[in-house]
A and B are shown apart, each in its own frame.
Chain A
Amino acid sequence: MKHLLSTEGLSLANAVRILDTAEEMAAVGDREVKKLPALRGRTVVNLFFEDSTRTRISFEAAAKRLSADVINFAAKGSSVSKGESLKDTAQTLSAMGADAVVIRHWASGAPHRLAATDWIDAAVINAGDGTHEHPTQALLDAFTMRRHWTQLAGLPSSGADLKGMRVAIAGDVLHSRVARSNVWLLRTLGAEVTLVAPPTLLPIGVEQWPCSVSYNMDETLEKGVDAVMMLRVQGERMNASYFPSTREYSRRWGFDDNRLRALDSLGLKDTIIMHPGPMNRGLEISAAAADSPRSTVLAQVRNGVSVRMAALYLLLSGDTREPAATLKESN
């Protein structure tokens, strides 16, 4: 693995390897000194063309815990601004000796362009590109689910997949890079994914995806589900006829208090509620659901650092070394 651009095409072996490495990284996070010398002398650039405080600081914390030098480059280029081109920015970073570029971009495919061209030789990690993919988000979601799923089975998390787990992903699938990355990754890990959304917020072509599609949240819950992932509804969708009103959206597609109670009455006591954040409380998720013991929202944030450490570590320290051995050496 030279780059981490998407979960589509990520093999089961590599996916499990990243999740297992993340488990080891999580153990580091539990220690008093939360730092490893693994990437000492390596430079990681956070190249953000789109605002995202959460993802940036998660990557920054991950890189710093691995002792890498971190450069934050907020290139707030918009589609209309005539600033420096991606090519020139990439060549500049290359000249500065960047070993890895963590790129967040509003344009789908921008990380692929960095990886496919000769503009820069660094490892490229996609930190979210347009409405395409957000692979580290899906990996941290899978990590969170795997811990839950293996704990229920009384098994160790390491080495496990998600076979048999039923996951519902609900909301604006059309514009969601999180949904796309999760569909591919969860399928690879053996989970059964159902997308729940208004037809207007599903892409044409979704019928080719390895998942099922439902227009009815309540029916999906009644069929039984082990994790429900609510997607954020972006403000700009609200006045573009994707749905009649936020109230109707909330009633039909949101995870409200009634549905939270329904999980109990349906006997789904172990079902978790996930959200990639930031949440619109009262729109796609009620406050009670977000704050309930079922909610994994904060665990997802915590696990994000471990997963991003694993990704940086595996991309920058090469495929040949055994991660566990290196970690022990550095203790």
Chain B
Amino acid sequence: MAEQSADNGVNNNATTGTYLIRGASILGAGTEDLLIRDGVIAARGTDLSTEGATVIDADGLIALPGMVDVHTHLREPGREDAETVETGTRAAALGGFTAVHAMANSTPVADTAGVVEQVHSLGRAAGWVDVRPVGAVTVGLAGEQLAELGAMADSRAQVRMFSDDGICVHDPVLMRRALEYVKAFDGVVAQHAQEPRLTAGAQMNEGDVSAVLGLTGWPAVAEESIIARDVLLAQHVGSRLHVCHVSTAGSVEIIRWAKARGINVTAEVTPHHLLLTDELVRSYDPVYKVNPPLRTDADVQALRAALADGTIDVVGTDHAPHPSEHKECEWAQAAMGMTGLETALSVVQHAMIETGLMTWAEFARATSVAPAGIGRLADQGRPLAEGEPANIILVDPAARWTVDPSAMATMGRNSPFRGMELPGKVVATFFKGHPTVLNGKLNTPYRHPTDAAAAPAGGY
């Protein structure tokens, strides 16, 4: 594990912090030192000078670019009993993230410049990761009228990703217009692919298990038919489509076909869809209730293969914390969603790396480089090279730990991985050159210099 040198003092002024990561395996390959100074990687090489630097012994650790989540529910504003930007981004930092995209289904909905700027400001004030608000596609997520996408794009939050996530933009004309309109500012529409009529009252994957349990089915075709329509729309209008939380083998086939045709589509898979199946629903424990639902083992295998071959571009957590009373109830009454920020790296290591499907370099592509590209984050997902922003994590791949939701930083206790032993532990997270996580524990948040300067004058 990481050891600090004698200079163990907490440094709140990130821009002047100097850290020498000694002997990390860069992207799981050769071992080198990384010198972090003034928020950037000042040098990469062997036997770098330790002078004036806090030394972090990274023997046995892997250095990766900070993870970027394209799909996070931070719940604030509106459901601060479930999560806040502060608690959610603490969880993100501990999970190895340096940026998260905050989904728009807050209360009020993030469908105006005002709300996305509020979430953006809360993220900056928290200082644990970059918080990139996602703007709603339609006013109030109601699927009737486009939200002011341009105003959100031009706001201080600089929104580039738009989504009604939780609800599908099912009206084909509205979806077409949204795809067309976001071309004006290089935006992307992230679709929650769920045909609403085919999923009225749906509770779980429709198949052998739902037949026995008597729970209303959520058929794969309800996802696949929307994806098929949307890739054709994206092709027709020449725009950029992102498909949230792909969950079925059939969806993978459609996306593979679309990419082969040159359609500008990216796709995401959640860690839980890479590992868990609908067999777990036999317990009727709502901790396994999620949307889209857990599917079959055949789907899990297809999703893993698709992530490995790049058909699915990114891992997105769909971190969805809920207060306990929304899970301690009947299945049909329970809220959909699972926490994921603090388990994502371990689950992906377990499902993809330990199975030999992916290397750590490919892990960096799927968890950092590609998601930063989708969200148009210029200083995330960068190479670990001299002069690059120091958004870096150190991972101990040999660690083993047992998931204990009550010990997590997120307020949500709804982890479907509870009690599982998983590999891999985030030892350190550097965000803009500042260690938000050290020795596997939260350190201190990054302080934006402009905020600090402006604060006495009453905000920026």
Contact = CB atoms under 8 A, between A and B. Distances in A.
Contact of B214 (A85, A87, A117, A131): A131
Interface string B315-356: 000000000010011111100000000000000000000000
B210 interface: yes
A153 interface: no
B206 A204 contact: yes
Given A113-B284, A116-B283, A107 B212 contact: no
B331 A107 contact: yes
Given A79-B333, A108-B331, A204 B284 contact: no
Interface in A84-108: 85-87, 105-108
Given A8-B212, A112-B284, A131-B214, A204 B333 contact: no
B212 A180 contact: yes
Interface stretch (A154-162, A164-172, A205-213, A287-295): A205-213
A86 B211 contact: no
A209 B203 CA distance: 21
A63 interface: no
A133 B217 contact: no
B213 interface: yes
Contacts of B283: 112, 116
A110 B332 CA distance: 9
Contacts of A109: 213, 215, 284, 330-332
B207 A205 contact: yes
A8 B213 CA distance: 10
B170 to A, nearest CB: 19
B212 A86 contact: no
Interface string B184-223: 0000000000000000000100111111111111010000
A205 B330 contact: no
Contact of B208 (A79, A87, A208): A208
A204 B214 contact: no
Contacts of A206: 211
B332 A85 contact: no
A180 B214 contact: yes
Contacts of B211: 203-206, 208-209
A3 interface: no
Given A108-B213, A133-B214, A204 B219 contact: yes
Given A85-B325, A205-B209, A113 B330 contact: yes
Given A116-B283, A116-B285, A209-B211, A204 B331 contact: no
A108 B212 contact: no
Nearest to B324: A87
Interface string B100-123: 000000000000000000000000
B330 A110 contact: yes
B322 to A, nearest CB: 14
Contacts of A117: 328
A58 to B, nearest CB: 21
Q: How large is the interface on B (under 10, 10 to 19, 20 to 34, 35 or more residues)?
A: 20 to 34
Nearest to B212: A8
A182 to B, nearest CB: 13
Contacts of A113: 284-285, 329-331
Interface centre among A85, A108, A116, A133 (most CB of B within 10 A): A108
A109 B219 CA distance: 20
B286 to A, nearest CB: 8
Contacts of A85: 325, 328-329
A182 B331 CA distance: 23
Nearest to B209: A205
A203 B212 CA distance: 9
A203 B213 CA distance: 11
Interface string A53-83: 0000000000000000000000000010000
A188 to B, nearest CB: 15
Interface in B94-152: none
A130 interface: yes
A112 B219 CA distance: 24
A177 interface: yes
Contacts of A8: 212
A148 interface: no
A275 interface: no
B243 to A, nearest CB: 24
Contacts of A130: 214-215, 332
B221 to A, nearest CB: 10
A79 B331 contact: no
A8 B203 CA distance: 21
Contacts of A131: 214-216
Given A86-B329, A87-B329, A208-B208, A108 B214 contact: yes
Given A108-B331, A108-B332, A203 B210 contact: yes
A146 interface: no
A116 B284 contact: yes
A49 to B, nearest CB: 9
A133 B212 CA distance: 9
B217 A204 contact: yes
A8 B284 CA distance: 15
B332 A107 contact: yes
A308 interface: no
A87 B325 CA distance: 9
A85 B285 CA distance: 15
Interface string B284-299: 1100000000000000
Contacts of B206: 204-205
A86 B210 contact: no
A177 B329 CA distance: 21
Contacts of A203: 210-211, 217
A194 B269 CA distance: 41
B328 A87 contact: yes
A109 B215 CA distance: 9
A132 B331 CA distance: 12
Nearest to A204: B206
A107 B210 contact: no
Contacts of B216: 131
Interface of B: 203, 206-217, 219, 283-285, 325, 328-333
Interface of A: 8, 79, 85-87, 105-110, 112-113, 116-117, 129-133, 177, 180, 203-206, 208-209
Given A87-B328, A107-B330, A108-B331, 15 more contacts: A79-B332, A87-B325, A107-B333, A108-B203, A109-B330, A109-B332, A112-B284, A113-B330, A113-B331, A130-B332, A131-B214, A177-B214, A204-B217, A205-B209, A205-B210
15 contacts: A79-B333, A86-B330, A87-B325, A87-B329, A107-B330, A107-B331, A108-B284, A109-B330, A130-B215, A131-B215, A132-B214, A203-B210, A204-B210, A206-B211, A209-B212
- Ranked 3 nearest A-B pairs via Cβ: A205-B211, A109-B284, A132-B214
